[in-house]
Structure 1
């Protein structure tokens, strides 16, 4: 989508969001039946307190705007929208959908190309709402109206969220026409896909299993779901002349309780039986779509058994992902590169400060004593004594400074990527204090760490401007008394004291207002000089921002956006769960939702190919 279209979509999003907010305010307190539990909740529980003035919505981050738009649509009853509101909602959703990966159903490899039936079956792990197919199957409930619980992870919610509000309106019309006012278990009802890449949606209601062992009737109901969907798919008129493609989600195996291990053979045998009975079917391919690795393994093991091929594996086709293509184009055309490294970059290498598993594995004793669940939670924590404090922090520093390098190779690949730029045309600025850029061999003369660095300790009171000291000598003194497995310090003599005033010390990181940045000002001066040099030399500067979330947006996110707004640079933002998103009004900026390792690897490959003349 063009920059102009993106800007229009951004305006449409703002208008739609304000209109839906006002609409929700007018019906505040109206009961909303919960799709999950059947009880009645109200808007306040789902959406927070509604204010009368919606103008504050305009200042929200783009990710929060989209999340709130979808929440408001999720709890909205199927009532007609005015043309203007509907157009604004759909324009915003269309643009958002265009930024998602797109997989062509016809590109998915079949189980056995030489078999007349297994040559029609495929297995794919991915988001069914990003699959371009004739039809996708929705595991609906009998009300058929979708999920009314915002951000609920069910397939029903996912499909309605992408398809847009016309899907719920159409489903309501269908339900109103049914004799009992609800859909039967084991049947299939058809709607258009609307904003989905699939042409149609096949809605089926699976059996609900209350224990671990479905009875014969429930098994037959599940079989009926698959048969009914295939029968309805036969009747569809498709724009694809190469044959119809139908993707099944895992019916009934979620909240409806059908054990996945028992559902897989039912699903596969029913589809095989259908093709055996209909050898001239107009359906060219049936895809068993899964979202979890465990479900994928169940299907793969089943197909290995059917084919008597224990080594069966299925190649994963590369989806078309427009943001990644744009990112590659920007990086390959750049003649100057500025890397902004956030916490997500180190997290992609395992050093994740928000990870509960990492913390409970390596700092179990501290977790038990403090109740903390992650490394991040302990910044600013008030330990009972200085020995408790430094027992933890010296263990933390030892842990971070010995974090294994090179696997995965995100930093190594990033280092190779910057090697394609002259020294005067590259710079790294990071909010991370863990030293991984330095430890991976990045030139410290082209590196700024404005949030501090674990290799320094400082006087808490900053008794003098330069009361910042190398950390290692203090750690060496403490080691004989330090138990890193318990995160304890056995002697007061090991507690670090400021060499100048004998006062308390802390890591030299921006954890509070006492942070002393004296050791990091030179890096910031070099950063400013780099930007001025790029501007004076009219370099085509691209900011590659990786893993910068919202904890300290003024350090990386807002700076990179300002550089784009001021026409100083272009921006490639890499992140997860919405942190990758850029304002739709920004020209020459793109957000790529992907793990840092994968994106860096693909950017490096593209840069290599361009440099070697392979493209």
Structure 2
């Protein structure tokens, strides 16, 4: 990598700190309120905030605002989610300034989303030089690698990987770091970014440049916003699966992001700065190359500026273990040796032992067990709906037709012959022939230790994995999103136009080409026996979905839940929810209801297993009613199984 002019006048001009610094009160400290609220107080404030911002949005968009009772009855996690969504889409140019009393309530509410025990002090982070024996490279003494939530990192500045608009992401369902940081900081930070763009008369922020604001309700003091390069697919769209290598110009742009952030931090006199993995999310920059550029650029800059910078610590923040590995490999190349494995385990990996121990203790002392399972559990058994390799291996015809994941098949774009060739192949592979897996078998052993009908399964998975693994599911299973073993009228022509799929499958599957996934005999396309219309598997893939086959399951679940709560209260024992692989695709179906149960009932505990989104609302953590296991379901269930049975 060639050296760059780190102190060029053009870069200083682009940073333009003096032209906006005073307009956003950059040097005025933002003082946190000290209020720690109980659950009732959080509910009241969330209701007030949601009512204000919902009314504001409804008036601006000519929508009818929801009834007060509807807002008040929401569980706190749902109130919080709706509030964050309203703030995400709120553009400072389109709305009036937030009243001071509302802003003060919002600050208190956002600050209560962070458990003080979750805050990681930058000063206490181990330096990378501790990972190597007899290595005196001065660079390593100024570097830390930390895996965790960057919004919980107490340092001078964290780096936000934004977009060229610099105002944050306006898509409420995006879980990009831009959204995560803005959501916790609060709307003042977006207002500051808006002021910067106006004062500098910018329509877009340049790739590779940076701007700084206060961090407000984050754990850091400042946020430095930078825009990294996008790796585009052949159609000019950014795509995580684009697969191409970055150009020399894109690599230089990424290096420029790091240099601009370091220059800006140094101008403000900051001592510590934490970098996220810029451009490696939806912007699709390869993670290994991004780590190489990040480390070598920072190393070169610190070397050139070692006598004229305030920066004493640079933190590379990662969120996933596989991203962490790329940084470790680069450190090893520089050091010329492998890291000390013991030190690596102690200093780099987030501590999960305490949460595992708590989860095991809850399971052992519980009276009943509710298993709430979603796609993450099936993925741990090999059925990963986000896996490109799975589609390529199982369904080469689909792959050739441009479908890269099983999720992408729900978007349409298939002929009837390809659609039913794939669906019947999926029924054959998944519903009838998927092999038993260790994760389900260990989960079953835990469940079966709860005798006398004291466990129940509620799942959004339609794949039949619990039956395939011989769970005793009679009167204990609610498949709320449907079942691959059923087929329905797509119209539908009646509330009862649902039938077992077996007859249709056996008639058609022999005519499915295993290479192309095409159903070669059109006469085998299923037709509704009542109206002659088109059919589809009985899964919730549209508003045509018929839930009637699962009404009895829903009644059984509600009866079991009511009885189990009463029994737990009477015996003063726990009802444990073991939630596995439930993300944010449809949080109102499982995720929020499980949080609500733990929130409303004193003897319910929530164990959340999710490799990407294990976060639990702060009020459940501080109330010792929820723990998060940020790991793959296979590993988490194995640890729980070992601890539960004292293996």
Alignment TM-score, normalising by the size of structure 2: 0.64
Q: Secondary structure at the match of 1:9?
A: helix
1:306-365 CA-partner distances (Å, limit 9, x unpaired)? 211266874433168999898666545422112132344324544245777755764454
Q: Does 1:197 align with 2:219?
A: yes
Q: Distance in 2 between matches of 1:509 and 1:5?
A: 40
Q: Which has the larger radius of gyration?
A: 1
Aligned to 2:331: 303
Q: Secondary structure at the match of 2:129?
A: coil
Aligned to 1:439: 468
Structure 1 pair 123–15 and aligned structure 2 pair: CA distance change class (3 A) = same
Residue 132 of structure 1: which of 145, 151, 154 is its match?
A: 154
Q: Distance in 2 between matches of 1:382 and 1:219?
A: 42
Residue 43 of structure 2: which of 3, 7, 10 is its match?
A: 10
Aligned to 1:229: 265
Q: Which runs of 5+ in 2 are unaligned?
A: 1-33, 232-246
Q: Is the 8 A contact 1:323 1:591 kept in 2?
A: no
Q: Secondary structure at the match of 1:97?
A: coil
Q: Secondary structure at the match of 1:246?
A: strand
Aligned to 1:87: 104
1:518-568 CA-partner distances (Å, limit 9, x unpaired)? 9x9589658846853663573532233434567696789658857975778
Residue 414 of structure 1: which of 433, 443, 451 is its match?
A: 443
Structure 1 pair 214–608 and aligned structure 2 pair: CA distance change class (3 A) = closer
Q: Is the 8 A contact 1:107 1:317 kept in 2?
A: no
Q: Does 1:481 align with 2:515?
A: no
Residue 63 of structure 2: which of 36, 46, 51 is its match?
A: 51
Output the aligned Cα RMSD: 6.1
Aligned to 2:244: none
Q: Is the 8 A contact 1:187 1:228 kept in 2?
A: no
Residue 127 of structure 2: which of 85, 110, 130 is its match?
A: 110
Q: Report deviation, 1:85.
A: 0.7
1:165-210 CA-partner distances (Å, limit 9, x unpaired)? 4446677899999999x99999998765432222x22647789999
1:201-237 CA-partner distances (Å, limit 9, x unpaired)? 264778999984499999899646525524644xx6x
Q: Does 1:120 align with 2:142?
A: yes
Q: Secondary structure at the match of 1:267?
A: helix
Q: Distance in 1 between matches of 2:251 and 2:404?
A: 45
Q: Is the 8 A contact 1:331 1:603 kept in 2?
A: no
Aligned to 2:575: 541
Q: Is the 8 A contact 1:578 1:593 kept in 2?
A: no
Q: Report deviation, 1:434.
A: 1.5
Structure 1 pair 51–597 and aligned structure 2 pair: CA distance change class (3 A) = same
Q: Does 1:318 align with 2:350?
A: yes
Q: Secondary structure at the match of 2:443?
A: helix
Q: Report deviation, 1:65.
A: 1.0
Structure 1 pair 179–360 and aligned structure 2 pair: CA distance change class (3 A) = closer
Q: Distance in 1 between matches of 2:94 and 2:498?
A: 62
Aligned to 2:4: none
Q: Secondary structure at the match of 2:112?
A: helix
Aligned to 2:25: none
Q: Distance in 1 between matches of 2:205 and 2:423?
A: 59
Deviates more, 1:322-331 or 1:283-292: 322-331
Structure 1 pair 437–83 and aligned structure 2 pair: CA distance change class (3 A) = same
Aligned to 1:268: 299
Q: Distance in 2 between matches of 1:217 and 1:586?
A: 40
Q: Which runs of 5+ in 1 are unaligned?
A: 29-48, 237-243
Structure 1 pair 75–217 and aligned structure 2 pair: CA distance change class (3 A) = closer
Q: Secondary structure at the match of 2:114?
A: helix
Q: Distance in 1 between matches of 2:618 and 2:262?
A: 42
Alignment: residue pair count: 569
Aligned to 1:248: 275
Alignment TM-score, normalising by the size of structure 1: 0.67
Structure 1 pair 249–343 and aligned structure 2 pair: CA distance change class (3 A) = closer
Q: Is the 8 A contact 1:565 1:586 kept in 2?
A: no
Q: Secondary structure at the match of 2:218?
A: coil
Q: Secondary structure at the match of 2:113?
A: helix
Q: Is the 8 A contact 1:426 1:446 kept in 2?
A: no
Structure 1 pair 379–437 and aligned structure 2 pair: CA distance change class (3 A) = farther
Q: Is the 8 A contact 2:403 2:409 kept in 1?
A: no
Aligned to 1:394: 424
Deviates more, 1:365-374 or 1:7-16: 365-374
Structure 1 pair 320–374 and aligned structure 2 pair: CA distance change class (3 A) = closer
Deviates more, 1:569-578 or 1:129-138: 569-578
Q: Secondary structure at the match of 1:485?
A: coil
Residue 378 of structure 2: which of 334, 346, 370 is its match?
A: 346
Q: Distance in 2 between matches of 1:342 and 1:209?
A: 32
Q: Is the 8 A contact 2:418 2:518 kept in 1?
A: yes
Q: Distance in 2 between matches of 1:449 and 1:296?
A: 38
Structure 1 pair 412–95 and aligned structure 2 pair: CA distance change class (3 A) = farther
Q: Secondary structure at the match of 1:543?
A: strand
Structure 1 pair 287–483 and aligned structure 2 pair: CA distance change class (3 A) = same
1:486-512 CA-partner distances (Å, limit 9, x unpaired)? 233445797789999999997666775
Deviates more, 1:579-588 or 1:361-370: 579-588
